């Protein structure tokens, strides 16, 4: 699927069913630029029936730092829009939906403030990213509130996924290092 959504831009499919990239069309003049970050009506075909209930922001300072790969378990699973508002990151969606034609596949996209693109991850997909430029900032729009008891994760280096990260990881949290391998724990996941 490729569609033109006016001021929001082009929508493109990825290697994960339902995960999409959306380009923006910033307006430039001698003062700088303006971009519409989200438009419910322009993105209705993707977003319909999914209200935005939470907006989060992250700052990750160190190049090579890796965050994720995180998800929310059913019934708290969420769709999310991810946009880089400063810097540049390698962003990933992992399909954990058993009934999906792309189950256990992943899609990657480079998000940057300069490109003004965003990534849509449907419910049942895990999310992670690696910082390519220092002091990178992400803005997340979520369709469900965060629920600590529904939190789950997948190991960044899971051999079943064989993710080709662009840089050697330099900083990963203890929590993210402790996520189970899919081969060990998949039966216990309730996505």
pLDDT single digits (tens) 84-136: 999 999 999 999 999 999 999 999 999 999 988 999 999 999 999 999 999 99
**E-strand spans in 88-181?**
88-95, 106-112, 118-121, 125-131, 136-142, 151-153
pTM: 0.89
Confidence of residue 191 (pLDDT cuts 50, 70, 90): very low
- Report, as residue numbers or ranges, the catalytic residues: 70, 140
pLDDT of 79 strictly over 90? yes
Contact criterion met (CB below 8 Å) for 154 and 124: no
Q: Check residue 6 and give its pLDDT.
A: 60
The span from the CA of 115 to the CA of 185, in Å, is 37
> Per residue, what are the HEC states of 32-76?
EEECCCCCCCCCHHHHCCCCCCEEEEEEECCCCEEEEEEEECCCC
The two three-digit tokens of residue 29, written as one number: 């003049």
Domains of the chain (ranges; CATH) run 2-188 (2.60.120.10)
């Amino acid at each position: 699927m490729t569609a033109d959504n006016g001021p929001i831009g082009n929508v493109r499919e990825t290697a994960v069913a339902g995960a999409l990239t959306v380009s923006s069309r910033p307006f430039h003049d001698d003062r700088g630029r303006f971009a519409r970050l989200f438009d419910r009506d322009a993105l209705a075909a993707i977003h319909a029936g999914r209200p935005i209930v939470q907006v989060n922001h992250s700052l990750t300072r160190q190049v090579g730092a890796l965050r994720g790969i995180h998800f929310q378990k059913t019934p708290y699973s969420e769709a999310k829009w991810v946009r880089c508002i400063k810097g540049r990151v390698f962003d990933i969606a992992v399909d954990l939906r058993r009934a999906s034609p792309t189950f256990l596949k992943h899609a990657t996209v480079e998000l940057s403030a300069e490109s003004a693109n965003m990534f849509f991850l449907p419910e049942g997909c895990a999310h992670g990213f690696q910082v390519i430029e220092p002091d990178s900032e992400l803005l997340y729009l979520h369709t469900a509130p965060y629920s600590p008891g529904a939190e789950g994760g997948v190991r960044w280096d899971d051999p079943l996924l064989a993710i080709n990260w662009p840089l050697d990881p330099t900083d990963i949290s203890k929590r993210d290092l402790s996520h189970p391998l899919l081969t060990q724990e998949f039966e216990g996941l309730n996505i």
